[in-house]
């Protein structure tokens, strides 16, 4: 019934780690080499490469090696899917709260009317 | 340097599971009891309660027991934090692409001009 490796699973899983979010923050400001990504992180280059592999598997980041330098960049599509999922849920409960508000606006005067009689 | 149990870690981790996303989808349409949450899911009530515990630990969902019924509902705050994080990253690379576009618009005529001379 449920796919465990669906794109959204991988995207949210990738974003659940603070190191990977730092890498994504860096890449949202522009492409970067693996060394540039590693620069602010207090860990080995090998650990950074592992985090990069998770980000690439999720589709959030793409990388390309030219000569000896691997350059990484954001791939917006997986981001949009994750953002859309959250904002659609929010829209759903906001619609419900709006309906509830409209219902209360409609019924409150009638309730007051009943109280007056 | 990095907090592993930061609110965003827990929120994205909670959303990385398809069962929990189904539960959140249901709750975004209105509060529900644990049995109502379990109804469309092909799993034991105990497994559903475990998923609910992850959602509550992340702050995405709150529940309250009145009598024998535990009623669950969305807590929008953690949602907004996750949504904001993603949309700020998107805004960041969109700004960068806009600047790149403006730069190309500005330089392209000059480049053409140079080619003409």
Chain A residues close to B21, C-beta within 8 Å: 8, 85
Residue A56 has pLDDT above 50, yes or no: yes
End-to-end CA distance of chain A: 56
Nearest CA in chain B to A6: B18
How does the average pLDDT of chain A come out, rounded? 88
Chain B residues close to A28, C-beta within 8 Å: 89-90, 92-93, 96
Handedness of CA A31, A24, B83, A6 (dihedral sign): positive
Check residue B100 and give its pLDDT.
Answer: 75
Residue B6 has pLDDT above 60, yes or no: yes
Residue B44 Cα, gap to closest chain A Cα (Å): 14
| Average pLDDT rounded to a whole number, residues A75-100 | 88
ipTM score: 0.82
With an 8 Å Cβ cutoff, the interface of chain B facing chain A consists of 1-4, 6, 8-10, 12-13, 15-19, 21-22, 24-25, 27-30, 42, 74, 76, 79-80, 82-83, 85-87, 89-90, 92-93, 96
Check residue B4 and give its pLDDT.
Answer: 47
Q: Provide the H-helix boundaries in chain B.
A: 7-15, 18-28, 34-38, 45-58, 76-116
Residue A109 has pLDDT above 80, yes or no: no
Check residue B1 and give its pLDDT.
Answer: 43
Check residue A5 and give its pLDDT.
Answer: 52
Residues B8/B81, Cβ–Cβ less than 8 Å? yes
Residues B78/B11, Cβ–Cβ less than 8 Å? yes
Could you read off the pLDDT of B69-113 as tens digits, one per residue? Answer: 999 999 998 889 999 999 999 998 888 877 777 777 888 766 555
Chain B residues close to A9, C-beta within 8 Å: 16-18
Which pTM value belongs to this model? 0.83
């Amino acid at each position: 019934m449920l796919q465990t490796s669906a794109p959204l699973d991988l995207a949210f899983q990738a974003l659940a780690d603070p190191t990977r979010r730092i890498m994504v923050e860096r890449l949202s400001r522009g492409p970067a080499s693996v060394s540039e990504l590693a620069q602010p992180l207090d860990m080995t280059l090998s650990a950074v490469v592992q985090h990069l592999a998770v980000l690439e598997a999720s589709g959030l980041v793409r990388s390309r090696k030219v000569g000896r330098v691997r350059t990484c960049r954001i791939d917006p599509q997986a981001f949009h899917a994750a953002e859309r999922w959250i904002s659609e849920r929010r829209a759903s409960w906001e619609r419900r709260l709006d309906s509830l508000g409209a219902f209360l606006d409609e019924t409150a005067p009638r309730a007051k009317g009943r109280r007056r009689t």
